[in-house]
A and B are shown apart, each in its own frame.
Chain A
Amino acid sequence: MISARGLRKSFGDFEAVKGIDVDVRKGEAFGFLGPNGAGKSSTMRMIAAVSPVSGGELRILGMDPATDGPAIRGRLGVCPQEDTLDNELNVFDNLYIYGRYFGIDRATCRQRAEELLEFAQITDKAKAKVEDLSGGMKRRLTIARSLINRPDLLLLDEPTTGLDPQARHVLWDQLFRLKQAGVTLVITTHYMDEAEQLCDRLVVMDKGVIAAEGSPRELIDAHSTREVAELRFGVGEHEALAAKVEDLGERVEVLPDRLLVYSDHGEDVVTAVIERGLQPVATLVRRSTLEDVFLRLTGRSLAD
């Protein structure tokens, strides 16, 4: 579906994407994970065929975005980071008119708009103004709108940023259903739980390059231990105490508010820490997540 080789994007002197190789296969959910400014959105805009490629090669659905932009966009669904809905039109017309932009005939547009209102669970809001919708509803409408042309490839740029937990789960459920219906999904996110939930395969991006690539499980296995022991001490003590627990795990990560000790047996680490007479305020043993992978690869947390 997508194939990029040495793909670059620069804005003047600033290089946002510094030569990445990506392959997205049909029917999979592919993720771009990384902090703000990693180059995810720039990559997405190039894939959406609205941003000229600065260097390297990019093929989308077998076509070249430089020459076949309209043809590519006709088969894409794009859900941008901000809800760029048409506030001058009501909810139904947002879907209907958008469909007409694709050259879809009136009757089909009307029928699909009604189906999609149902899919987004906003049928009762059909005649409402966009500004009267809640954040979650706007997001669902944006996603519904991106499906009006029954896309082969759906691009979602940070689909759940700014949504409350309940709205996120509704959205995830809908994205699952789309995937099951055979739509290829490309998702950017800086939430590792979202990436773990949704993505079959992902790349971790940092400062315009790909730091790692694989399924969430593969990445965790390759770059982290099975478990993590989180140790919380008093404010400002973490840096100094790190040396005292260093030998207990494969690796120790110092965060401002806690120490992370990486080990396949987290409980043993906690027991050993207490045996040494150290008194953590709180301890937690958990499985490794993509956040740990990210910390390992970039030395920074995703939230930065």
Chain B
Amino acid sequence: MALIQTIPAPLTPAAATKVLVLRNYVVYRGAWKLFITGFLEPVFYLFSIGIGVGQLIDTFEFHGEAIPYAEFVAPAMLATSAFNGALLDSTYNVFFKLKYEKLYDQMLATPLSTGDIARGEITWGLMRGSVYSAAFLVVMAVMGLTDSWWALLALPATVLIAFAFSAVCMAVTTWMKSWQDFDKITLAQMPLFLFSATFFPVEVFGDGVLRWVVEATPLYRGVVLCRELTTGVVTWESAVSVVYLVAMGVAGLLVVRRRLDALLLT
């Protein structure tokens, strides 16, 4: 074997992220069917609750505008699809790679750094969530559930939701010890999904502490942001949600990096 001294150009952070996304893409290239379930779940909810239950409800007020119930539920399912997609990869898959496959140990034997791994994996989770959302947004548009050109901005909004959850869930996963610990993730996932003003307005919680708590949860911010965009009622609250989600994602990313340092570079 010829041994010519070739020192490859160092990967920039962007290039390193791209290579890690490529790795995940190659893994899933042959397993696209796995993507379908994540997409179908919110579609089923939209049909059963948004449209089915929606038959029993007249119109609905959102930020002072009357909208059909299906239009109220659809953007919530849009946000949820990003949430689910991001959650899938950044919890179970990351845990498997970290503890069982020792995949990150392999990567760290190369010039890749823990920062690259954090960015690459979170980007992948973000992309998976975004693909679900984009497909769901098409379903909404076809069914006439989008009221405004603002709806186009719902796509970057879902990217943001996927980023925030992907980063925080991966950070939480680095503390997981066994598969049993994932019950706690499910325990957090269900109430977030059911009570983030997904199926009924936040006003139901009254004006007390409970409402404030709900309004401070991340999926609520995502749901409201999507709803404001698809119904075209954009308010100052939208900006709050954007800042909230960006901050959450960046914080998660930094924690992931530090945790990977602590776990793998011993």
Contacts and interface: CB of A to CB of B under 8 A. Distances in A.
B123 to A, nearest CB: 15
B19 A86 contact: no
A251 to B, nearest CB: 41
A93 interface: yes
Given A82-B102, A97-B22, A103 B8 contact: yes
Interface stretch (B36-44, B108-116, B130-138, B240-248): B108-116
Given A86-B106, A87-B101, A101-B19, A70 B113 contact: yes
Interface stretch (B9-17, B169-177, B251-259): B9-17
B262 to A, nearest CB: 11
Contacts of B27: 88-89
A117 to B, nearest CB: 13
Interface residues of A, number: 41
Interface string A77-89: 0101010111111
A86 B111 CA distance: 17
B225 to A, nearest CB: 34
B112 A74 contact: no
B88 to A, nearest CB: 15
A119 B101 CA distance: 25
Contact of A78 (B5, B7, B109, B265): B109
Interface stretch (A45-53, A189-197, A198-206): A45-53
Contact of A102 (B23, B110, B264, B265): B110
Interface of B: 1, 3-11, 15, 19, 22-23, 26-27, 101-103, 105-113, 264-266
21 contacts: A73-B109, A74-B10, A80-B105, A84-B106, A86-B106, A87-B101, A93-B26, A97-B19, A97-B22, A97-B26, A98-B110, A100-B22, A100-B23, A101-B111, A101-B112, A103-B11, A103-B111, A146-B109, A150-B3, A177-B1, A181-B3
Interface of A: 11, 48, 50-52, 69-71, 73-76, 78, 80, 82, 84-89, 93, 97-98, 100-104, 115, 119, 146-147, 149-150, 152, 177-178, 181-183
